[in-house]
Structure 1
Amino acid sequence: MNAKYALALILALQVSMSMCEIPAPSQELVEKYDQMKSVFYQRLLTAYGKLQAAAAPYVETVGDSERGQKAKDFIEELQTKPEFQAAVKVASGLASETGPLVDQARTAALGLYEHYLRPHVGDYLSRGIDHIKTHLDVYLPTQ
């Protein structure tokens, strides 16, 4: 019985050690990912610009009403509080500290995808992304 436990422990250790060696993604996959990411961000920025342009007339008239003026005063008062400024500094510090960790996680995920999943689902995923792009071009264009 102890031999079975020892064999199971050895196999588990081998699996865990092989999982520690994460393959690096190819340059082609990284470039493809970066291109898709930049196009998606461009789509989001375009949508935000259109939303901002559509909301501009309403935002300008917010200060005319009593409730709108109270909300505007509250926001201006909140921005001057030291607690709010400290929270903003902490959040921006966390964002700058987690940037490299996010990049490492993204590289590891791309490496795992390319090594283990891409041979099996790469064509399906590529076709699915191309299909989604046609809909995004209609409803969320890049320009």
Structure 2
Amino acid sequence: MNTKYALALILALQVSMSLCQVPAPAADLVEKYDAMKSVFYKRLLNAFGKLQVAAAPVVEGAATSERGQAARAYVEELQTKPEIQAIVKIATGLGQEAGPLVDRARTSLLGLYGHYIRPYVGESLSQSIDTIKVHLDKYLPAE
């Protein structure tokens, strides 16, 4: 009975060690990912700018109303509370600490995708992304 447990433990350790050796992503895959990420952020910024322009008259109207002024005073009061400032400091610290971890996870996932999945679905996924880009360029342009 103990040999079964020992064998199961050895196999589990081998599997976990093989999962720790993540292949490095290909340079062209990283380039393609970075290009798509930058275009995505440009699209988001452009959409946010359009939304901001469209919402400006509504915000100005709300700022002059009595409720708008009360909401503004409440937000300003919240910003001065030490509890809220502590929460903001903690969130900022967590964001700075999570940055390198997210980069390592992204690199690992790109490596896993490039090694195991890309040979099977890479071409069809690329074609699908190109098809979606046509519609995004029409309705949500990057510039």
TM-score normalised to the size of structure 2? 0.91
Assess, with a 3 A threshold, how the Cα gap between structure 1 residues 111 and 65 changes in structure 2: closer, same or farther: same
**Counterpart of 2:125 in structure 1: which amino acid?**
L
- Mapping of 1:74-89 within 5 angstroms? 74-89=74-89
What is the CA distance between 1:5 and its match in structure 2? Answer: 6.1
Distance 1:141 1:79 in 2: 36
SS at match of 1:22: coil
Find the counterpart in structure 1 of residue 68 from structure 2.
68
Please report how far the alpha carbon of residue 93 of structure 1 lies from its aligned counterpart in structure 2 after TM superposition. 0.6
Q: CA deviation at 1:23?
A: 0.5
Measured after TM superposition, the shift of residue 86 of structure 1 is 1.1
Structure 1 equivalent of residue 33 of structure 2: 33
**CA distance in structure 2 between the aligned counterparts of 1:21 and 1:138, rounded to whole angstroms:** 42
Aligned length: 143
The one-character-per-residue Cα deviations of 1:56-96 (angstroms, maximum 9, x if unpaired) are 11111212211111111111111111111111111111000
State how far apart, in whole Å, the 1-side matches of 2:7 and 2:127 are.
Answer: 43
- Relative distance call for 1:132 and 1:63 in structure 2 (3 A) is same
Q: Which residue of 2 aligns with 1:21?
A: 21
TM-score by length of 1: 0.91
Distance 1:13 1:70, change over 3 A: same
How do 1:1-143 residues align onto structure 2 when only pairs under 5 Å count? 9-143=9-143
How far the C-alpha of 1:3 sits from its partner, in A, is: 6.7
User: Secondary structure of the equivalent of 2:142?
Assistant: coil
The separation in 2 between residues aligned to 1:86 and 1:2, in whole angstroms, is 53
Residues 78 and 120 of structure 1: is their aligned pair in 2 closer, same or farther, counting only changes over 3 Å? same
Structure 1 residue 12 displacement after superposition: 3.7
- 1:20-45 CA distances to partner (integer Å, 9 max, x unpaired)? 10011011111110000000000000
Q: State the alpha-carbon separation in 1 of the partners of residues 87 and 41 from structure 2.
A: 26
Structure-1 separation of matches of 2:16 and 2:80? 51
Quickly say closer, same or farther: Cα 1:69–1:13, change in 2 above 3 A: same
| Counterpart Cα distance in 2 of 1:79 and 1:10 | 55
Q: Could you list the runs of 5+ residues in structure 1 that have no partner in the other structure?
A: none
Q: Alignment partner of 1:61: what SS?
A: helix
